[in-house]
Amino acid sequence: MAICPGCRSQGELCKECPTCRRYFVEESQWRKSPSDELLGTLIGGQYIPTALIGEGGMGRIYKARAKYTGQTVALKILKSEYMEDETLKDRFFREAEVVGALDHPHIVKLYGCAPVPEHNTIYMAMELLNGRTLFEVLRREVTPLQTMMLWFTEIASALGCAHSKGIFHRDLKPENVFIIKEDDGTEHVKVLDFGFARLQGAAKKLTMAGVAFGTPHYMSPEQAMGLTEITAACDVYALGIMLFQAVSGHVPYDSANNSPMEVMHAQVNSPTPQCVPRQEYNVPKRLISCIYKCMKKEPKDRYADGNELCAELQAILDEIKKASAELEKPTVVAQAVDNVATHKESGSGLSQTTFLIAIAALVLIAIIVTILIVLNI
């Protein structure tokens, strides 16, 4: 059932209400946030928010439908109370500029971005993703190593595309990687949230020297120190941290007191801890070496960018696939041996049956002969 968020009349989903000029949304979605002033309105002259699907400190994300094409999108809206903050507004437009410049199968797609004066906000229409974040996967399950390596190779490929255009993500973490399931059942990644990305050579910088920026557990040493000369190596470092976490089951640097400053201090000063793989994983040494190289303290000692790292991860993935295929061969031979053994046992069974029938026949003949003798026949 569809309801108008304005006058509560009923009607057809996403059609305009003749009474109050808002648009009908599903009643169940309206009941979840009845005071939401954007549900059922027309944003940017073309998008109708139909459900609130996420909310952060600075913005909301809606499921929305394009009025004229019927396309379903994710609509990112900056909260109106932040419209006076020029830095946040610039950051919002920067994300749109960055994502709009990137055309890659493993990066979320942008459809449009513009101010909405009538609601005192800015919108960004993006590809609607159905699935789960890498954060959820790492927290709840142990994914087969080959699948996990495929995902990380795709992440590196996405970063390589951005790096080749002079774009550095700067806040790469499992929460910003989405795992989507295709129609054929396969799962692939989408990298998102480029809100704090930096364009190399940009005239306007959105962070200041001496101010650390990023998420502490995945922050490179140069970011933790607040250095302004950030390169693609910061994303390589973050991906190395994520690989360490995926392989071992925990992040390399943590704080018992949940102190971001302690974690950042460790990123800069503590030696790289040993990466001990989960017991479910048979990890090649080359992968461990790759993780350690990504996590080098000096940017120049890491892989140069996502493209170089992607090539290495693809080579490691190929090795894992080959090793997996080799492991399957003895299984095939073993099955063949079992089949032969089964046939032999079947043959033995047939021979034993024939033998028993012969004995029974001899016994029967002996009985008949004995009866004839007794009867003097």
Q: Which of 171, 193, 235, 305 is catalytic?
A: 171
50 burial type by CB count under 10 A (0-12 exposed, 13-18 middle, 19+ buried):
buried
Name the packing angle between helices 145-164 and 306-374 (round to 10°).
Answer: 160
The label of the residue with tokens 């400053």 reads 261
Query: Can you tell me the distance from the alpha carbon of 233 to that of 305, in angstroms, rounded to the nearest whole number?
Result: 6
Q: Active-site residue 183, yes or no?
A: no
Query: Can you tell me the distance from the alpha carbon of 158 to that of 305, in angstroms, rounded to the nearest whole number?
Result: 11
The label of the residue with tokens 């709009």 reads 100
Furthest-apart CA pair in the chain: how many Å? Answer: 127
Query: Can you tell me the distance from the alpha carbon of 7 to that of 21, in angstroms, rounded to the nearest whole number?
Result: 10
333-354 in b/e form (b: 16+ CB < 10 A) is eeeeeeeeeeeeeeeeeeeeee
Q: Which residues have a catalytic role annotated?
A: 171
